Amino acid sequence: MKEIFTRRSIRKYKDQAVNQEQIQQMLRAAMYAPSAGNEKPWHFVVMKDRDKLNAITEFHPHTQMLKEAPLAIIVCADISDVKYDGAFWVQDIAACIQNILLQAEALGLGTCWCGVYPKEQLVEGVAKLTNLPEHIIPVAVVAVGHPAEQREVRERYNPNRVHHEIW
User: 49 — phi, psi (to 5°)?
Assistant: -60, 120
If we measure between CA atoms, which residue out of 108, 110, 95, 118 comes closest to residue 142? 110
The one-character DSSP state at 76 is E
pTM above 0.85, yes or no: yes
If we measure between CA atoms, which residue out of 47, 90, 38, 82 comes closest to residue 66? 47
Average pLDDT value for residue range 2-7? 96
State how beta strands 42-47 and 110-115 pair.
Answer: unpaired
Structural domains present in the chain = 2-150 (3.40.109.10)
Answer whether residue 3 shows pLDDT above 90. yes
Quote the pLDDT of residue 119: 98
Q: How far apart are CA 121 and CA 128, in angstroms?
A: 11
3-state SS of 91-156 is HHHHHHHHHHHHHHHHCCCEEEEEECCCCHHHHHHHHHHHCCCCCEEEEEEEEEECECCCCCCCCC
Model pLDDT for residues 20-59, shown as the tens digit of each residue: 999 999 999 999 999 999 999 999 999 999 999 999 999 9
Quote the pLDDT of residue 121: 98
Q: How far apart are CA 56 and CA 63, in angstroms?
A: 7
Average pLDDT value for residue range 122-137? 98
Average pLDDT value for residue range 120-126? 98
Give me the percent of the chain exceeding a pLDDT of 70: 100
Model pLDDT for residues 140-150, shown as the tens digit of each residue: 999 999 999 99
Model pLDDT for residues 148-165, shown as the tens digit of each residue: 999 999 999 999 999 999
If we measure between CA atoms, which residue out of 106, 111, 89, 114 comes closest to residue 33? 89
Answer whether residue 1 shows pLDDT above 90. no
Quote the pLDDT of residue 15: 96
Cβ–Cβ under 8 Å, residues 83 and 36 = yes
Contacts of 68 (CB under 8 A, 6+ apart): 12, 13, 15, 145, 148
**Over the chain, what is the mean pLDDT?**
97
Quote the pLDDT of residue 81: 87
